Chains A and B, each alone.
Chain A
Amino acid sequence: MRARSILAALAGVAALGAATTQPPQRLTETGLYAGRGTAVVDARNRPFSPQYPLWTDGAVKSRWIFIPDGTTIDTTDPFRWSFPVGTKLWKEFAFGGKKVETRLVWKTGQDAWLFASYVWNDEQSEAYLAPEEGVPNVAEVAPGRFHSIPARTDCVACHRGGKGESLGFDALQLSDDRDPAAPHAEPLRPGMVTLRSLVDEGRLVPDRREWVEHPPRIEAATPRERAALGYLAANCGACHNSHGPLARLGLVLAHEPGSAVFRSTVDVAGIYAVPGIAPERSRRIAPGAPENSALLHRMKSRRPMSQMPPLGTVVADAEAIELIRGWIADDLPASGAAR
Chain B
Amino acid sequence: MKTTWIAIAALAAALPATASEELKPVRGSAERGAYIVRTRGCNDCHTPWKMGPKGPEMDMSRALTGHPQDLVMPPAPKLPEGPWVWVGGATNTAFAGPWGTSFAANLTPDMETGLGKWTFETFKQTMRTGRHEGQGRPILPPMPYFMLGAATDEDLADLWAYLRSLEPVRNKVPQPIEPAE
**Across-interface contacts of A114 in B (CB, < 8 A):** 15-16
Say which one of A14-22, A205-213, A217-225 lies at the interface with B.
A14-22
With known contacts A111-B12, A153-B128, A156-B14, A271–B175 Cβ distance under 8 A:
yes
Say how far B48's CB is from chain A's closest CB, in angstroms: 22
With known contacts A153-B129, A305-B99, A305-B140, A110–B19 Cβ distance under 8 A:
yes
Task: Please count the residue pairs between chain A and chain B whose beta carbons lie under 8 angstroms apart in the complex.
Answer: 103
| Interface residues of chain B: helix, strand, loop or mixed (majority) | loop
Say how far A133's CB is from chain B's closest CB, in angstroms: 11
B73 on the interface (CB 8 Å rule)? no
| Contacting pair A17 B22 (CB below 8 A) | no
Size of interface on A: residues with Cβ below 8 Å to B: 44
**Across-interface contacts of B134 in A (CB, < 8 A):** 156-157, 160, 245
Say how far B151's CB is from chain A's closest CB, in angstroms: 14
| Contacting pair A245 B18 (CB below 8 A) | no
**Across-interface contacts of A161 in B (CB, < 8 A):** 135
| Chain B residues numbered 125-156 whose CB sits less than 8 Å from any CB in chain A | 125, 128-129, 131, 133-138, 140
With known contacts A110-B19, A111-B19, A153-B129, A310–B135 Cβ distance under 8 A:
yes
**Across-interface contacts of B117 in A (CB, < 8 A):** 248
| Contacting pair B133 A245 (CB below 8 A) | yes
| Contacting pair B12 A157 (CB below 8 A) | no
Q: Tell me the complex Cα distance, A65–B144, Å.
A: 39
A115 on the interface (CB 8 Å rule)? yes
| Contacting pair A154 B137 (CB below 8 A) | no
| Contacting pair B138 A113 (CB below 8 A) | no
**Across-interface contacts of A153 in B (CB, < 8 A):** 15, 125, 128-129
Closest to A164 in B: B13
**Across-interface contacts of A111 in B (CB, < 8 A):** 12, 19, 22-23
Can you spell out 23 A-B residue pairs with CB atoms less than 8 angstroms apart?
A21-B17, A22-B16, A109-B18, A109-B19, A110-B19, A113-B14, A151-B129, A152-B16, A153-B15, A153-B125, A157-B125, A157-B135, A160-B12, A160-B125, A245-B125, A246-B133, A275-B177, A305-B99, A306-B137, A306-B178, A310-B131, A310-B136, A310-B138
Extra contacts besides A21-B18, A157-B131, A158-B135 (10): CB < 8 Å: A21-B17, A23-B16, A114-B16, A132-B15, A153-B129, A156-B134, A157-B125, A245-B122, A245-B134, A305-B137
Mark A residues whose CB is within 8 Å of B.
Answer: 17-18, 21-23, 108-116, 132, 151-161, 163-165, 239, 245-246, 248, 271-273, 275, 303-307, 310-311
